[in-house]
Amino acid sequence: MVSATRPASVTDELLERLVARVPGRSGATWKLTEVYTGEVLVELPQSTPEDIEDAFAKARAAQALWAQWPVAKRLEVFDRAHTLLVDNAHRTADLIQVESGKNRRMAIEETCDPPMVMSYYLKRAKKLLAPKKHGGPVPVVSGSTEVRVPKGVVGIIAPWNFPFATGLSDAIPALMAGNAVVVKPDNKTALSPLFGISLLEEAGLPKGLFQVVCGEGPDIGPTLIDNADYVMFTGSTATGRVIGERAGRNLIGCCLELGGKNPMIVLDDVDVAEWVEGTTFGVFGNTGQICMHIERIYLPESRYDELKSAFVERAANLSIGAAYDFGPEIGSLVSPEHRDRVASHVEDAVAKGATVLTGGRARPDIGPAFFEPTVLEGVTKDMLAGHTETFGPVVALYPYRTVDEAIHLANDTDYGLNASVWSGDLARAEAVAERIESGNVNINDALATAYASKGSPSGGVKKSGVGARHGDQGLLKYTDAKNVAVLKKQVMGPRPGQGYDAYVKQMLSSLKLMRRLRVR
């Protein structure tokens, strides 16, 4: 087994300081390991229901003061935090790699997400949170004001595949809006979000406002949801159903980004070289552990062999390794357990008649959770890889005869998170994109363009989620709208001595007049 040397920045002192933030009165711990080697890095405290209730109580106390800060003062914290996050990108990437096993490129790119989110909302938050004047039922003498009020304490359940990005980026607009946050990172990847929170506090975020609790989802999830005023979750559809149901019982809102079986349609006029490079990242980036990564590729029958050959050759030559530098193109899966899940999808497909064009094997010679980039052919819907999200470096190729057929096949899924269309003709690609049932569609890209467009909402349809992050909606969802209405003169009712029949006639005439004048 080839072992990578842990980065010098990830010291035992740093690890102990980070996990000291996690409450765990029972003394129970979880062994957080370095993925490349399997070495135990630190014992992560596991929070009890009482720990979670205490965390929410502290967060509520801090939020009561934070919500009184002017928006401009709150934003100053994030202006400073932006600089700190960028300046500490490499140290953060070290932590991300240690705990998740992803390659260096993906770790560095993950560190860029919270600053990008900050930058967008630093420009938009003042306007979004400012009171907005609206007309009232009677022109001139009445009016209303829309006031945005923070929800209170937001519970965030973050996934292991992008722990730093989701742990912080989903919290940033919530905090800007005046909320407190209690985040539950995955046990496997708690270090980088803990480090990010310490940087926010260094930038001036009040202590206590951003709490962290740790534990297995079934153990602490119910208590977290029961104490939250809003829940943000990224993860599987099965878990999303449970969270949505509990949030509904508690009459609180939730935003759920869930699973996907993301398709790509390649049109017959595509440039093969550009397509191969873009698709390689869209399929194998983060070792296939991206919610929006491509798992199904539909190729035109007229160019199927050409495109297949070029893509398989590129996939077969991807460099895979355990290293804390920019050498390997492919890193590890997050754990041996997840490696086994990915392998089971490949084995099931082969047993039922699919062909492995390249890859298909675990690589224990590199590290305990490595798996080769894998391209399959002949996958059908009765196979796990044909209808269930694999969430690994595995993709299936399919030929199609007509564009209508390709669109039908792309839409033939319960999911609708992300899709991709490739063509040399943008108008043609856009026409196809309009017919795909997905919350995100990338043209001549696999996934990054949509997700990095922070001004547009990003979410799923069908069984891929409820609500969205990013865009104006990504901040406003963490607020309630209060309607403050003013009537300057008592004109809503019959005048003294006026009968109700006469009043109604006057009222209906006024409605017609206001419509003609476009007053309302």
Residue pair 461/440 in contact by the 8 Å Cβ criterion: no
Residue 50, CA distances (Å) to 55, 156, 166 in order: 9, 18, 25
Residue 150, CA distances (Å) to 179, 181, 251, 459 in order: 5, 11, 16, 22
Which of 257, 329, 372, 389 does the annotation list as catalytic?
A: 257
Write the secondary structure of 402-418 as one string of H (helix), E (strand) and C (coil): CHHHHHHHHHCCCCCCE
**Type and span of the H or E element at 453:** none
In degrees to the nearest 10, what's the CA dihedral of 231, 235, 238, 243?
-10
374-377 and 465-466 beta bridge pairing: unpaired
- Phi, psi at 258, each rounded to 5°: -115, -155
Start-to-end CA distance of the chain, whole Å, equals 73
| Rounded-to-integer distance, Cα 142 and Cα 315, Å | 66
Tell me, yes or no, if 214 is annotated catalytic.
Answer: no
Which of 214, 254, 255, 291 does the annotation list as catalytic?
A: 291
Task: Classify 453 in phi/psi space as left (phi over 0), alpha (psi -120 to 50) or beta.
Answer: beta
Tell me, yes or no, if 291 is annotated catalytic.
Answer: yes
Residue type, 140: V
Residues with a known catalytic role = 257, 291
